[in-house]
Structure 1
């Protein structure tokens, strides 16, 4: 009992050396990132003090690259060495942060230059390109570094990093902006990437090589989209993510303007508000494990979303600095509860072969909702008031809780996504080349005609698995001359993709397959045939 408690304690992932090193390095980098974000937001309110839409566009510029690049980033993370991808993305962000820091220190980005807001938007967009390519890989390597039982704790520890840095970073940024200027903040952020680059460079990751050729990026993207479109559990997570972030984005986008225009705060005051947000998130990291022991993940997300909506209504209705700080404390707790829960659910709902791609879809939806929400609420604030925009978003978030309640998150915890490896390897007269195809796979079942309808319904669940794991077409046919004979067909684009299916079937998938096979009344297992499209095939000793 004691050993089990220790193994699943919140701090147990830190016993893993690589995770611990990356966690410490990411903490340093995250402080720099929050300093950078505060500096950029404050600089924009200086460059365009009377334009809510430009301030909101800064949030959109941070989010849009995630919307555009999340899928390619996820595909790259699944088909190439993730360590190399992390090195490239971290180096890119180091370069962009250094450039913005030098331009600001030298006075090129300044209120006197009319082009300054657009330079800031452009470099913010470039920084977000690096972040959007980095984040799916970063999330995908976490399950490599810890056990499945430690994954919720590892994600929570990552949340602690974010919120601890959110507590420290903004306050430091406010002090540095007041004493040395915004450019120094950007340069310090650039320096913070060095620690992460060093840890990743020294990480001796073992890249798992497959006997099959690596997936091409375009094909990998298609496989990822095909998987998500046939994964109801993961789709529920997507809908819950949309229902939260589209409305919560109003607070994230308009907070800098609220602090400066409505509360009349300087950079330090704005940093203090964000600091309370971070302290709340840090407190939430300790509260969340206790909540998980008492409530389901669905209730946690619904409850925390409700707190977030109510806090947005309070912020919209008052202009008191101390009340705002207290509210941001609760915002930090609730936002961490929602984001950690959604992230754990997403990581638990997909197998490793498609993990980065699936997480990139969630990231795409999250950042797309953030971008669209920021533009909408910024535009609404431009034509009405900040209070009106925040109140509308808060009410929308409360309504969304009831609309999305039917999309259950708890189902992700019930999946066993270990590879079952139970498919037999058929004997072939010849070995096709990896790119040969398409491949038509058929399975022949014999079913009691009185149970044909039940069998057909059971096959619908299996159809989703077939499509999810690689079939571009699927069908089930009944023999009109022999009503007990059914033939399942699955068309796969290539021989290599068909061979990958053998490794993609999970233990949970096998349960559904066994349920289907229970209807088979033949004396032998269903006959499996693999047929290769032969029109353009050229027989050769070499592929």
Structure 2
């Protein structure tokens, strides 16, 4: 882009066009990752990016690539990444046990950032020696080993007992789960803020190489290489830093360290100074994003992990897309130095945001399926799509236990809604105040079965506490009912049409 235009805004839009589709399409990709064979999704995404990269190489080779054409191709490549990432990230939990998940995320980050240091330097050398078309061509060929590996990979998958959720319903279930999980919402907020401010480096780095350092494509590749080397260093110290400091302190340090690196990049006039600043920023980049990623995965059960990761990616890459555009506009108006200094100040504010959005420690909750639900024997012949279903659970609670019961039902309400319940309510009998009834709806019988299969072992604690408060002679009675419309269309004379008096 720096060879096609002198506009800082257009250069920054390359980063924005790469991250915008991840923000736009990640939610759908996350629902697909939880509903379909992840390996096939990964292969499809890689083949799509191979085709786009080949078309980009041919367009550049023919000499007809324009600035807006480059942005269009970059947007398509970002769309492939949006499809790929949720399935790839969710697959980690299928490959390694929960205890090794943090290390697996760090190892994946090391591989990615190792190539971040090698790939751009190679790309810059290729552009300098043979032009952009050659670099794009090599990039297209780089997808082939990954596609071959995915074809050979044969993961074990458990057969699905229930039919697949429709796409819209799956998206709603993911949104409901994330919105009813306070820890996840705090991760999303901090990730979006970090992505918005930290995107200034990747968005403006081409302008830094060209205008502030007077360099070429090779200079840009070397700067990205420094950033990647710093990221590898961040991976190397990642486990030790997490073992020694609380999650919130790690995030605060990552925000503050990245702010220091951005300020150094803004004030540096030599590639050595800029490289040192980028190494600091790269290390903090990995510390923050890998911690966010692991927090999401360890706070989410397997049935919804792809969607939770997609919401996380929407947050961080949405922040990066918006930030890239904003920092580009500011660089056009005030210069890249001022834009980078402004981003550094915002990162310091992000470090202080932990006062209102602190990150929790990694939970020790067991999010494996509880596996205790047994489908009841019904005397009505229901189909999977039969509904709506109303569920009522009766409790007998002594007067002195009312406050404890209400506190537990607050937790129960969040779990119910999180797992798909609608119109949740808690009722108290006016004539027998010790009788309480919990009620909720689900659209169909299949949704009721799915709702119960989503219970995790961590949810058992609140239910056992409720059972301890229950004073009835037997366990709380569960009523499962199907709604039927019995009121006719014209219920009474007031609703009937007036008779025709002319006949």
> TM > 0.5 between the two?
yes
Please state how far the C-alpha of 1:431 moved relative to its aligned partner: 4.5
Match of 2:411 in 1: 461
**Shift in CA distance, 391/177, structure 1 to aligned 2, threshold 3 Å:** same
509-518 or 406-415: which moved more? 406-415
Matches of 2:149 and 2:138 in 1, distance apart? 18
SS in 2 for 1:57: helix
Q: Does 1:346 align with 2:296?
A: yes
User: Counterpart of 2:478 in 1: which secondary structure?
Assistant: strand
What secondary structure, in the 3-state scheme, does the structure 1 residue paired with 2:3 have?
A: helix
Q: How far apart in 1 are the matches of 2:409 and 2:269?
A: 59
Judge conservation of contact 2:365–2:458 (CA < 8 Å) in 1: yes
The answer to whether the 8 Å contact 2:197/2:344 transfers is yes
Counterpart of 1:77 in structure 2 is 33
Task: Select 1:493's aligned residue among 426, 437, 443.
Answer: 443
Query: 2:308 — aligned with what?
Result: 358
Unaligned runs of 5+ in 1: 1-43, 110-115, 537-543
Residues 1:102 and 2:58 aligned together: yes
Partner of 1:47: 4
Alignment correspondent of 1:426: 376
Kept after mapping to 1: 8 A contact 2:260/2:277: no
**1:90-118 deviation per Cα after TM superposition (whole angstroms, max 9, x unaligned):** 10000000000011112122xxxxxx001
| Runs of 4+ displaced beyond 4 Å | none
Deviations 1:330-363 (A, max 9, x none): 1111111111111111111100000101100001
Distance, in Å, in 2 between the alignment partners of 1:208 and 1:432 is 26
Deviation at 1:424, TM superposition (A): 4.6
Rounded to whole Å, the distance in 2 between the matches of 1:519 and 1:424 is 24
Q: Distance in 1 between matches of 2:250 and 2:382?
A: 51
CA deviation after TM superposition for structure 1 residue 472, in Å: 2.1
Unaligned runs of 5+ in 2: 487-503
Shift of the alpha carbon at 1:367?
1.1
Aligned residues: 486
**CA apart distance, 1:191:** 0.7
1:86 is aligned, of 38, 42, 46, to 42
Q: Quick check: 1:234–1:412 contact (8 Å CA) kept in 2?
A: no
Cα gap change, 1:326/1:71 in structure 2, threshold over 3 Å: closer, same or farther?
A: same
Who is 2:267 aligned against?
317
Residue in structure 1 matched with residue 401 of structure 2 by the alignment: 451
Aligned to 2:99: 149
Q: Which moved more, 1:445-454 or 1:364-373?
A: 445-454
* Structure 2 counterpart of 1:286, from 211, 214, 236: 236
1:219 aligns to 2:219 (yes or no): no
The two structures have a TM-score, normalised by structure 1, of: 0.87
Query: Shift in Å at residue 221 of structure 1?
Result: 0.7
Matches of 1:411 and 1:432, distance apart in 2? 44
What SS is found at the alignment partner of 1:119?
Answer: helix
Q: Which has the higher Rg, Structure 1 or Structure 2?
A: 2
Query: SS state of the match for residue 99, structure 2?
Result: coil
Deviation of 1:425 after TM superposition, in Å, equals: 3.6
State the Cα RMSD in Å.
Answer: 1.4
Instruction: Check if 1:415 corresponds to 2:365.
Output: yes
CA distance in 2, matches of 1:529, 1:485: 15
Contact 2:392 2:437 in 1 (8 A): yes
Tell me if the contact between 1:212 and 1:434 (Cα under 8 Å) persists in the aligned partners: no
Structure 2 residue aligned with 1:389: 339
What TM-score do the two structures reach when normalised by structure 2?
0.94
1:233–1:412 CA contact under 8 A, matched in 2: no
Distance 2:182 2:333 in 1: 39
